[in-house]
Amino acid sequence: MTYTTPIATGHEGSVRDQFRAYLQRLRGGEMGALPAMLALVVLGILFSSLSPYFLTTGNLANLFVQASALMVIAFALVFVLLLAEIDLSAGVTGGSGMAVFQVLNGNLGWNWIVSLILALGMGAFIGAFIGFFVSRIGVPSFVVTLGLFIALQGFMLLLLGDGGIFRLVQPELKSIMNNNMPIWAGWVMLAIAVFGSLSLSLADRRRRTKVGLPTRPFIMLLLKVGTIAVIGAVIVGLLSVNRGQGLLAVEGVPIVIPIVLLILVVGTFVLDRTLFGRYIYAVGGNPEAARRAGIKVAQIRLYAFIICSSLAVVSGLLQASRIGSIESTAGREIVLSGVAAAVVGGVSLFGGRGRLAYAAIGALVIAMIDNGLGLIGFPAAATFLITGGVLVAAATVDALSRRRSGVALT
């Protein structure tokens, strides 16, 4: 048996080789969240030059909080978008979960934690319902979830009554979107993030060395962790400054941020490092190939919908916390913004390509457009027009890059 020189693994070579390989991938159409990140920078420069308030710490905190509910619903949708499915009912699923919470906690006086868990259970049930129709019966998810989008609005009216609006009284839940952590907690959060990222990278590196594979230059690992540390420190630092305008000090990282980060990190871990995550990508890429490889495609689809609907309830909670009330009309608009956020961030509508982090960046873009145009004093009409335009542009980039990577065929 003749052994030729080993086939490369993509980890060889200097930093320069790595950079060149990255540029090649970009040209090949694997752009990921790069367009969205550029949009973020351009929008940031544009708005800060047009409005003196845009770059204030108060607005920064506001932007993150505004984006957080959108981010979570976009995370939820990523799980089904990766399968080339859609969940149009995710928004009202969140609303329905909170309606269940209101009935249990508000009307029946059950413990709020128990009620919240049951609200999440409601989400999981809705997800299982969608998953059953999509994966076992074969109804297109577009139709099933459109039906649920309508039906769940009726369900909310049924539970909360016509025009029902109830105040969210539980202080713990209200403070998620409206209060901040103590300043030290923000720094602890950053330290955990940096330490976690560093030790995970080192563990991966050790494993590769042990098996006998080449590793990337160590400086790249430091660069990656360093970037997280620096950007994180800037943000936590800015949020630690008192941004209150009155006598009361407003400072610290909003409580919602670690919650969103946790969902992002755990979700990414599941998608990247577990069998389930791998199978989601496989089913999204080529369901027939996945089936022949012995993957239980229907089961993967079912679980993805359950995760999506459960996370949608978390998003519903964040929305309720922000406005301080549970409403029978909640969640009708946010789902489309959530799809927009994911697609703008670089998650493919055709399935198989995308990450939670992309959706997070996309959600920041959408929230920034909303926030910035509001500050400049543009009418709501402009916000809608521009957001819509950005979405179509993003979907076009998606379709074009898909076509480019398909050129290599034959």
Partner 1 sequence: MGTTLVELSNVTKSFGPVDVLKGVNFKVEEGKVTALVGDNGAGKSTLIKGLSGVQPYDGGTVSFAGQEVSLRTPRQASSLGIEVVYQDLALCENLDIVQNMFLGREEKHLTLLDEASMEFAAQKALQSLSVRTVKSVRQKVSSLSGGQRQTVAIARSVLRNAKLVILDEPTAALGVAQTEQVLNLVRRLADNGIAVVIISHNLADVFEVADRISVLYLGQMVAHVDAKKTTRDEVVAYITGSKTPEGVA
Contact set with partner 1 (CB under 8 A): 1-4, 6-11, 28, 30, 204, 207-208, 210-213, 273-275, 278, 281-282, 284-286, 288-290, 292-295, 351-353, 405-406, 408-410
Task: Give the pairing of strands 165-167 and 325-327.
Answer: antiparallel
User: Which tokens hold the place of 324?
Assistant: 């301080």
d(CA 326, CA 169): 10
- Whichever of 128 and 349 has its CB closer to partner 1, that residue is 349
- Whichever of 117 and 203 has its CB closer to partner 1, that residue is 203
Q: What is the closest distance, in whole angstroms, from the C-beta atom of residue 27 to partner 1 in the complex?
A: 11
- Whichever of 331 and 351 has its CB closer to partner 1, that residue is 351
Q: What is the closest distance, in whole angstroms, from the C-beta atom of residue 292 to partner 1 in the complex?
A: 5
C-alpha dist (Å) from residue 4 to 7, 8, 11, 208, 214: 8, 12, 18, 21, 16
- Whichever of 174 and 296 has its CB closer to partner 1, that residue is 296
- Whichever of 8 and 266 has its CB closer to partner 1, that residue is 8
Q: What is the closest distance, in whole angstroms, from the C-beta atom of residue 234 to partner 1 in the complex?
A: 32
d(CA 37, CA 43): 10
- Whichever of 217 and 285 has its CB closer to partner 1, that residue is 285
Contact present, 335 and 73 (Cβ < 8 Å)? yes
Residues 6+ apart with CB under 8 A from 309: 76, 87, 89, 90, 93, 123, 124, 125, 126, 127, 130
Got the DSSP string for 283-335?
Answer: HHH-HHHHHHTT--HHHHHHHHHHHHHHHHHHHHHHHHHHHTEEETTTTTTHH
Alpha-carbon torsion (391, 46, 333, 130), positive or negative: positive
- Whichever of 233 and 289 has its CB closer to partner 1, that residue is 289
Q: What is the closest distance, in whole angstroms, from the C-beta atom of residue 390 to partner 1 in the complex?
A: 25
d(CA 138, CA 284): 16
Q: What is the closest distance, in whole angstroms, from the C-beta atom of residue 72 to partner 1 in the complex?
A: 25
Q: What is the closest distance, in whole angstroms, from the C-beta atom of residue 127 to partner 1 in the complex?
A: 24
- Whichever of 29 and 252 has its CB closer to partner 1, that residue is 29
d(CA 182, CA 175): 13
Return the SS3 of 378. coil
- Whichever of 9 and 111 has its CB closer to partner 1, that residue is 9
Q: What is the closest distance, in whole angstroms, from the C-beta atom of residue 132 to partner 1 in the complex?
A: 24
Return the closest-CA partner of residue 344 out of 305, 370, 378. 370
User: Which tokens hold the place of 188?
Assistant: 């602890």
Q: What is the closest distance, in whole angstroms, from the C-beta atom of residue 273 to partner 1 in the complex?
A: 5
Q: What is the closest distance, in whole angstroms, from the C-beta atom of residue 279 to partner 1 in the complex?
A: 9
Residues 6+ apart with CB under 8 A from 46: 372
Return the closest-CA partner of residue 364 out of 84, 88, 62. 62
